[in-house]
Amino acid sequence: MLFLTSIAVSLLAVIITAPSTSTVQFSWYTESAVVCKVYIYSENTSKELSEATPSVFHSMEASELSPDTQYKYRIECDATKAYIQAGSFSIPLNPGNNFSFVVYGDSRSNPRMHAKVAEAISKKKPLFVMHTGDIVYSDERLDDWADFFQATVALGNALFFPVIGNHERTAENYKRFFSLPGNESYYSFKVGELLFIALNTNERFDSYSKQYKWLKSLLSTEKAEFTVVILHHPPFSYGPHGDSYYVKNFLVPLFEQYGIDLVISGHDHNYQRIVCNNLTYIVTGGGGASIYKIKDPSGIASSFEGYNFVLFEYNSGVLKGICYDINGHEIDSFTISSH
């Protein structure tokens, strides 16, 4: 588990993102401007990264790492070591036939509740965590990012893969604090036999756009046992935002044409599982923002009006999803088998 020393002022949280299978970025927040060092070590490796100038928001990159290797890290700040935090991580590439990951979203506006969701997630010990967007209320406001870091102290032992929500539309600080594959606005990565595609529904994705062409090329060339799409705006939703017209009209036909297995979104602050043309759509927007009502549950396979996250367990050809509330109670479960 991530730990803090018992001092009056402490380093608050570390988020670890990975632009490749050999590089990670550590981003963290301290309550006052300090200079920090990051120590990374495994059975065969040790690295030391140092900052040159004091800061409140910190980002440092470590390269030449090996995937599927368990690394430990320690962050110390100032010569007195008054700030210290430690944890562990691995960069998943081929983690075997049995692993888990978590997806949640819409954590903005309520750091106290977001912290409870993060703590509940950490108890499941996922290999990595994905976020469906609306991470903060406003990308431009550093106070919102400080709240985000304070709320996610429990997530320092897993890589973090977010997508851009409408509240991060400009994504200036998003790209400062997160280092992600590809162009970072939209990207893909593979873990074992699972292909993950993170889309940005805040920039063009019509059939003439770069994002659409990139997606179509990826789907036509990259093969996987399961293909999972993560995006912010839901193509189908029975919450107040409803269906995203453009996602449904431009992207759903591609999802169906190329046999996508699972589409996960946020935006509506609740949980929904919808099945359409044999494709499973999940809305998980219960990460901290105020909860939205379900307008009409008649077309939903399962729904929940409350804070939530979804744990996915992959086990040799079967992908099982389990929705939990913040108290660890199971709300819904479902399985998807490989084609």
| Mean pLDDT score of the chain | 93
Q: Is the pLDDT of residue 82 over 90?
A: no
pLDDT tens for 177-215 read 999 999 999 999 999 999 999 999 999 999 999 999 999
Question: In this predicted structure, what is the pLDDT of residue 279?
Answer: 96
Q: What percent of the chain has pLDDT over 90?
A: 87
Closest CA to 151 of 137, 165, 164, 163: 137
Question: In this predicted structure, what is the pLDDT of residue 269?
Answer: 97
Q: Are 275 and 263 in contact (CB under 8 A)?
A: no
Sheet arrangement for strand 55-62 = 55-62, 23-34, 13-20, 159-162, 128-131, 98-104, 308-315, 318-325, 330-337
Question: In this predicted structure, what is the pLDDT of residue 187?
Answer: 98
Closest CA to 247 of 289, 276, 278: 276
- Count of alpha carbons within 13 angstroms of residue 291, beta-carbon side: 14
Q: What percent of the chain has pLDDT over 70?
A: 95
Q: Is the pLDDT of residue 170 over 70?
A: yes
Number of H-type helices and E-type strands within the chain: 6, 21
Q: Is the pLDDT of residue 10 over 60?
A: no
Q: Is the pLDDT of residue 316 over 90?
A: no
Closest CA to 131 of 321, 307, 285, 297: 285
Q: Is the pLDDT of residue 9 over 50?
A: no
Question: In this predicted structure, what is the pLDDT of residue 2?
Answer: 39
Q: For residue 32, what pLDDT band results from cuts at 50, 70 and 90?
A: confident
Q: Is the pLDDT of residue 13 over 90?
A: no
Q: Is the pLDDT of residue 31 over 90?
A: no
Question: In this predicted structure, what is the pLDDT of residue 12?
Answer: 65
Amino acid at 283: V
Q: What is the mean pLDDT of residues 334-338?
A: 92
Q: What is the mean pLDDT of residues 280-296?
A: 96
Q: What is the mean pLDDT of residues 111-139?
A: 97
Question: In this predicted structure, what is the pLDDT of residue 222?
Answer: 95
pTM of the model: 0.94
Q: Is the pLDDT of residue 7 over 50?
A: no
Question: In this predicted structure, what is the pLDDT of residue 1?
Answer: 38
Q: What is the mean pLDDT of residues 315-323?
A: 95
Question: In this predicted structure, what is the pLDDT of residue 80?
Answer: 63
